Amino acid sequence: MPVEVIGVQRFTIRSSKQFDEVLQAIDASIGHPDTNVVMDEIAVANTDDQFQNVIDPAGGSSGVVEFSRIDLTPFIRFRRSVRIIAGDPMVMCSMAGQIPEAAAYGTVAIQIDERADGVRLSYDRIAARVEEYEDKFVFELARNLEKRIESLLTAASQ
């Protein structure tokens, strides 16, 4: 099977705040739903409105939900590092409705790293990766999610 080379656009911002302050700011703006409860409720949602009624409260003030978190600190040992997999379930659902494999781009990996010059927050943009599908709706969904993630990271850094 051939391997395709793709380019990555990485958004990075530096903060002079302490690592814990940055992480708390991110945690305050993204949703942390009980995944088991939400998945059970999604399973019985029969309409888009019912699905949205389950998802909307889970999204926090940014509309972004944390799906998982990996504390990389034990592996790095001399500085703190956390990776948060987050996204918007409604964006994922809408993308999948247009192009099933595009649903994978409804999530991003937010990296928060403690460095000598401060805390760095970064993630890889997704819109460029969905351009290949040549679907304007999916592209606009991706751009909107990018804007929300970048706004969230910028606010957490200040």
CATH assignment at residue 103: 3.30.310.70
Model confidence over 12-40: pLDDT tens digits? 999 999 999 999 999 999 988 887 887 78
Residue 1 within a domain:
no
Q: Is 3 a member of any domain?
A: no
77 Ramachandran zone, left/alpha/beta (phi>0; psi -120 to 50): left
Tell me, yes or no, whether 5 lies in a domain. Answer: no
> Rounded CA gap, 89 and 52, in Å?
9
Give the residue numbers spanning the domain of 38: 10-157
Separation CA 71–CA 109 (nearest Å):
13
Is the pLDDT confidence value at 155 over 90? yes
Say whether pLDDT at 111 is over 90: yes
Do the domain assignments include residue 4? no
- Round to whole Å and give the CA distance between 101 and 22: 32
The confidence score (pLDDT) of residue 152 equals 96
- Flag whether 102 is in a domain: yes
Q: Is 17 inside a domain boundary?
A: yes
Residue 129 belongs to some domain of the structure: yes
Q: What pLDDT does 141 receive?
A: 93
Q: Contact 80/21 with Cβ under 8 angstroms?
A: no
> pTM of this prediction?
0.88
Please give the tally of structural domains in the chain: 1
* Residue 71 pLDDT greater than 80, yes or no: yes
